[in-house]
A and B are shown apart, each in its own frame.
Chain A
Amino acid sequence: MSELPDGAADLAFDGHELHAGAGPGRRFMIDARCVQGTPVHGAYAHVCALPDASAMLEFDQPEVQQVRRDALAWWIGMLGDALVCLTTLALDESCYGGAITVTREPADWRADPFARIFPGTVVRTDLFCPVTPPPGPVLERYAGVAWPGGRF
């Protein structure tokens, strides 16, 4: 994985736990805003990703576009005030490795649109802080930062 672009942060997932920075497990890039504020202790992270390095798709694949459209259309609204933040998990400028939705309380994870691509694991975590949910759009920016982060 290349050097982190501005606006990105490292996160590792070993299939059971999340680790800030280059911890044990598979390394992903997330929207850095999700870990730059005051963290919500004991939050629930629904990690829709796998530690297996082969679990990846291109961001431009229609199914990846559609799950983010579903997130904008109803997933964020359904979570309401329980939502802390969400971020996709980028592997590089073009490859999607999954997504994480973080909430203050357990949610109906069966409805998580991101779980249609990679299955979800619920992880208790103190890593994430509140970030205003995204208004769109659903495409990655030139900078390659995980959605919803990134700008021209």
Chain B
Amino acid sequence: MKLEPGRPFPDLDLPDHTGRQRRLSEIAGGDPVALLFSRGWWCPKEQRHLREVTALQDEFEVAYARIIVVSIDAPEVQAAFRAGLGARFVFLSDGERRWLERLALLEATDTVHRPYRPTAFTLHPDLTIHAVYDGYWYWGRPTAEDLRRDMRAIARAVRDDFDRA
């Protein structure tokens, strides 16, 4: 499965942080998406990066865009982590690593947790990939400005009234 700009991202089906079964397309709900694959709550780099992402959630909400985080943590662990962050966006749990294997996003260097390799995608509302960020090294992750730039580009492409001049 090639996860490259211009290709469709698969419509993940996973339980969310409350344990309810969700689909990626349903959560996207017709809006642009920042989809973040995360190692888990225990990783200090994830904690730091998700604090930065959480600081963006007010902007995403008023701008009709979505943030979605996927990790191998159990839903109840995600719920606690999410509450600690003060996040209002959805976490999806892949404890069985079902999608991790299909997406080929295993972090091979961590043989203890077998987590997702930190990877971020920005997606169009129809789940077409706009950009990919390999966050194995922290600096590879999207910054707030990267996400703003991508959301602006996607919104410009999908909102008919974006450029009103």
- Please tell me if the beta carbons of B29 and A151 are within 8 angstroms of each other in the complex: yes
Q: B64 touches which one: A77, A81, A132, A139 (CB < 8 A)?
A: A139
A69 contacts partner chain B, Cβ-Cβ < 8 Å? yes
Q: Is the CB of B89 within 8 A of A135?
A: yes
Question: Which chain B residue has the least Cβ–Cβ distance from A76?
Answer: B18
| Cβ-defined partner of B61 (8 Å) among A133, A139, A141 | A139
A80 close to B66 (CB less than 8 A): no
Contact B29 A132 (CB under 8 A): no
Residues from chain A with Cβ under 8 Å of B64 in the complex: 137, 139, 141, 152
Q: Does B26 lie within 8 Å of A136, measured CB to CB?
A: no
Say yes or no for A56: interface residue by CB 8 A criterion. Answer: no
Report B3-32 CB contacts with A as 1/0, cut-off 8 Å. Answer: 000000000000011111010001101110
Quick one: which of B30, B31, B65, B88 contacts A72, CB cutoff 8 A?
B88
Which of A77, A132, A137 makes the CB contact (< 8 A) with B62?
A137
In the complex, chain B residues whose CB is within 8 Å of the CB of A138? 61
B86 nearest CB neighbor, chain A only:
A73
Which residues from chain B contact A109 at a C-beta distance below 8 Å?
none
For chain A, residues 122 to 152, give those with C-beta under 8 angstroms from any C-beta of chain B. 132-133, 135-139, 141, 151-152
Write the B145-165 contact mask toward A (1 if CB under 8 angstroms, else 0): 000000000000001000000
Interface residues of B (CB under 8 A from A): 16-20, 22, 26-27, 29-31, 60-62, 64-66, 68, 79, 83, 86-90, 159
Not counting A80-B18, A135-B29, a sample of 11 additional A-B residue pairs whose C-beta atoms are within 8 angstroms of each other reads A72-B88, A73-B87, A80-B19, A132-B20, A133-B20, A136-B66, A137-B65, A139-B64, A152-B30, A152-B64, A152-B159
